Chains A and B, each alone.
Chain A
C-alpha cells in the first residue's frame, strides 16, 4: 500500500512540531523516520496511524489514494508497535496476539480454531511457540518486542508502524532484532515505517530514510544517498561523527573520522596539506580503531582506522604523526549552519 503525507502541519499550542510535511512511500517499502528527539518523527508516525490529528485544515494522510485523515485509528488497517511495547499485562502472550482477532465485528470474526491457528503461526514467526501461555512480565525485552510485533501483524495490517521499536533493548539484542525485522519484511512485504534516532539502525535496515530535523524532512533518500550525499549540514552532522576544520577563509570544512588518513613522519607520499599532531589516545573498537589526535593548534581530531590500517601504522601514544582529510564536505548552504 502506498502512503502519502500531504502538507501536514502540527503544533502544540504555539510551538510547531511539524511544518508542511510531504512524504510519499511506495507499496512494500521499509522506510525509517530518523531524527534527534524533538524533530517531530514520532508525531508524524502517530498522525499517520491516526493516534494524533494534524492541525485543522493543514493537509491529508492518504492510503492507496484514499484520504484517511478522518478515519478512526482502528479502521485505518494499521499495525502499530509502541516504544513501550504496550503489551496487555494481564493477558497471556497467546491472548495478546489474539486480541485484535477477537475484537473484530462478529460477522468477520474468525472461529476459535482459526484464531488458534493464526496465533500459532505468528508465534512460530517470532520464534516464541513455547511461550504462548506466559505473561509479558515473564519475557525478556526482545521477546516482548516480538510479541508486540506479532500482535500488530495478527490483524493483517496494510501498513506496519513502529515507534522506536528497539529503543529499550541492549545493543546485542538490538542488532539481532534489526536484521530479524529486515528479514521479516522481506517475507511479508508489508509497507513499514519505523521511527528511530539511531543512524546505524536506520541506514542498515531501511529501503529509504527520511531524515527529520526541527519539524521538517531534511532529506528523503536511500541510505547510501543520505550518507554519501547529505542534502545539508544538518543531515551530515546527524548521520555520524565529524571533525570541523577551519580554513583561512573562516568557512568550516566537515570531515568524517574515517575520511582522515594518518601518516608516519617518515612517509614520503603524504599530501602537501597534511598537518602534524600528537597521538593523544587510542581506543580499540574491534574492526575499527578510534584514534584521538591533538593538532598543533591544540584542537582534538577524531580519526577512525580499520584494524588493518592501525596495525600497519603501529601507532604509539604520544607519537608525532601527520594527518590529512581524504574527503571534506564544505559546500552546504549557509542557513543550515548550526
Chain B
C-alpha cells in the first residue's frame, strides 16, 4: 500500500570500544599471552638490535657513520692507515646505501600515490567488467613472495628476458649525477655525470621492485573509505560547474587525506625495509645497496656491530612510523566522528 519511508541511519566509521564482559580470569590470561608474545617476538629483538649497535659504546655507533679522522700531523703505521681507510670506505658505503634508500623512496612514493589514488578511484567509484579481478590484482604483491617478484623482473628485463633485448640496451642518465658545468659547452649549463645502461641490476630495477612490493598500500588504505563515501560529493561539485581537477583537489583529496597519509606511511616503511625483491635485482653491486642490503653485507663481513647500527636506524624509522601511524589513525577517527 503506502510506500514505506526508508530511514537512513548514519554510517558509523569510528567504532566505539566494546566494553569487555568476559570473566576476569579470561581477561588476565589473554593479556598475559599478548604481553609475553610481544615481549619475546618484538621487544627483546628490538632491544637486542640497539644493544648490539651500542656494543662498542656510543663512539663505536658514531664511527659507523663518521669514521675517526686522525690529526694531520699524526704518524701512523701502515696497518693503522689501512684500518682508517677501510673504516672510511665502509662508512662511505653505508652513507651511499642510506642515500639510495631515501632516493628510491622519494621516487616510489609519488608514483604510488598517483597509482593508489587512480586504482582506488577506479575500483570504488566506477562499475565495470573485471573490477573484481582488478581489485584482486592490486592485492597480488601481498601474496607473492618478494623474491619471486624480483625474479620476475630478472626474467622480464634480463638479457634473456622478453623485454631483454630492449631493456639491456637502454641508456638513461642518473638523475643524481646532474651537475653544473657552466656555459662553455652550450646554452644548457647542467649535465649528467653518469649514465646507466640496462634496467636490471641498476637503481632503476630497485625502484621497479620497490614499486611492485609497495603499490598496494596506498590503494588499499583508500579503498574502504572511498567505497564508503560514494560519489555524491564529487557529483555535487561537478554539478556546480567545478572541473575534474578542481573536484579532485578540493573535494576528493581533502576527504581521503588521512587515509592517504596512512597509506603513504605504510608504503614508506615497506620501501625502506624491503629486502627480498631488491636483493634479487641489485646484482650485489655496492652502489645498488639499500639499507637492508647493506646490513646483510656488513653481517657477512663479520661486522656485526656495524650491521646492527644500520639496523637500529631502520628500527628507529619503524618506531617513528608507528608513532606517525597512531597519530594519523587518531586524527582520522576524530574527523570521522566530526562528520557524523
Number of interface residues of A (CB under 8 A): 40
CB of A167 within 8 A of CB of B6, answer yes
**Residue ID in chain B nearest A49 by CB atoms:** B239
CB of A238 within 8 A of CB of B3, answer yes
CB contacts (< 8 Å) of A199 on chain B: these are 2-3
**Residue ID in chain B nearest A104 by CB atoms:** B241
- Shortest Cβ distance from A132 into chain B, in angstroms? 18
* Neighbour of B5 across the interface among A74, A89, A104, A198, CB < 8 A: A198
CB of A103 within 8 A of CB of B241, answer yes
Contact with A along B239-266 (1 / 0, CB 8 A): 1111100100011001100000000000
Contact with A along B306-340 (1 / 0, CB 8 A): 00000000000000000000000000000000111
* Neighbour of A73 across the interface among B3, B232, B238, CB < 8 A: B238
The verdict on A115 contacting chain B, using a C-beta distance below 8 Å, is: no
Contact with B along A63-92 (1 / 0, CB 8 A): 000000000111100111010101111100
CB contacts (< 8 Å) of B251 on chain A: these are 88
**Residue ID in chain A nearest B229 by CB atoms:** A89
Cα A241 to Cα B8 in complex, Å, equals 24
- A198-B3, A238-B3, A242-B1 are contacts. A88–B242 as well, Cβ < 8 Å? no
Cα A78 to Cα B242 in complex, Å, equals 13
CB contacts (< 8 Å) of B233 on chain A: these are 86-89
CB contacts (< 8 Å) of A242 on chain B: these are 1
CB of A82 within 8 A of CB of B235, answer yes
CB of A82 within 8 A of CB of B232, answer yes
CB of A99 within 8 A of CB of B242, answer yes
The verdict on A60 contacting chain B, using a C-beta distance below 8 Å, is: no
Contact with B along A190-209 (1 / 0, CB 8 A): 00000001110000000000
The verdict on A271 contacting chain B, using a C-beta distance below 8 Å, is: no
CB contacts (< 8 Å) of B2 on chain A: these are 199, 240-241
CB of A73 within 8 A of CB of B239, answer yes
CB of A37 within 8 A of CB of B255, answer no
CB of B240 within 8 A of CB of A100, answer yes
The verdict on A168 contacting chain B, using a C-beta distance below 8 Å, is: yes
The verdict on A155 contacting chain B, using a C-beta distance below 8 Å, is: yes
Cα A50 to Cα B235 in complex, Å, equals 10
* Neighbour of B240 across the interface among A136, A151, A197, CB < 8 A: A151
Cα A240 to Cα B240 in complex, Å, equals 37
Cα A136 to Cα B187 in complex, Å, equals 56
CB contacts (< 8 Å) of A155 on chain B: these are 240-241
Cα A74 to Cα B8 in complex, Å, equals 28
- Shortest Cβ distance from A290 into chain B, in angstroms? 13
**Residue ID in chain A nearest B338 by CB atoms:** A137
- Shortest Cβ distance from A140 into chain B, in angstroms? 12
- A82-B232, A199-B2, A242-B1 are contacts. A51–B239 as well, Cβ < 8 Å? yes
CB contacts (< 8 Å) of A104 on chain B: these are 241
Q: Which of A79, A86, A151, A154 has the most CB of B within 10 A?
A: A86
Within residues 113 to 166 of chain B, which ones have a CB less than 8 A from any CB in chain A?
none
CB of A74 within 8 A of CB of B3, answer no
- Shortest Cβ distance from B80 into chain A, in angstroms? 63
The verdict on A234 contacting chain B, using a C-beta distance below 8 Å, is: no
The verdict on A131 contacting chain B, using a C-beta distance below 8 Å, is: no
* Neighbour of A74 across the interface among B7, B232, B239, B338, CB < 8 A: B239
CB of B254 within 8 A of CB of A90, answer yes
CB of B235 within 8 A of CB of A73, answer yes
CB contacts (< 8 Å) of B339 on chain A: these are 89, 136-137
**Residue ID in chain B nearest A46 by CB atoms:** B235
Within residues 56 to 70 of chain B, which ones have a CB less than 8 A from any CB in chain A?
none
CB of B3 within 8 A of CB of A168, answer no
**Residue ID in chain A nearest B242 by CB atoms:** A103
* Neighbour of A75 across the interface among B5, B237, B241, B250, CB < 8 A: B241
CB of A74 within 8 A of CB of B242, answer yes
- Shortest Cβ distance from B285 into chain A, in angstroms? 47
Q: Which of A87, A137, A242 has the most CB of B within 10 A?
A: A137
Cα A89 to Cα B7 in complex, Å, equals 21
- Shortest Cβ distance from A94 into chain B, in angstroms? 15
Cα A154 to Cα B8 in complex, Å, equals 27
CB of B232 within 8 A of CB of A137, answer no
Cα A79 to Cα B237 in complex, Å, equals 11
- Shortest Cβ distance from A33 into chain B, in angstroms? 13
CB contacts (< 8 Å) of B31 on chain A: these are none
CB of B246 within 8 A of CB of A103, answer yes
CB contacts (< 8 Å) of A80 on chain B: these are 235-236, 239
- Shortest Cβ distance from B245 into chain A, in angstroms? 11
- Shortest Cβ distance from B235 into chain A, in angstroms? 6
- Shortest Cβ distance from B58 into chain A, in angstroms? 47
CB of B8 within 8 A of CB of A168, answer yes
Contact with B along A239-270 (1 / 0, CB 8 A): 01110000000000000000000000000000
CB of B255 within 8 A of CB of A74, answer no
CB of A74 within 8 A of CB of B1, answer no
CB contacts (< 8 Å) of B240 on chain A: these are 74, 99-100, 103, 151-152, 154-155
CB contacts (< 8 Å) of A151 on chain B: these are 236, 240
The verdict on A237 contacting chain B, using a C-beta distance below 8 Å, is: yes
Cα A90 to Cα B233 in complex, Å, equals 11
Besides A152-B240, A241-B1, 15 other CB < 8 A contacts?
A: A37-B3, A51-B239, A86-B235, A87-B236, A89-B338, A90-B255, A99-B237, A99-B250, A103-B241, A103-B246, A137-B339, A152-B239, A167-B6, A198-B3, A198-B5
Q: Which 5 pairs between the two chains have the least Cβ-Cβ distance?
A: A100-B240, A86-B232, A103-B242, A86-B236, A197-B3
A-B contact pairs, 16 of them (CB 8 A): A36-B3, A37-B3, A37-B6, A49-B239, A50-B239, A73-B235, A74-B242, A79-B239, A86-B236, A88-B237, A90-B254, A104-B241, A154-B240, A167-B6, A237-B1, A241-B2
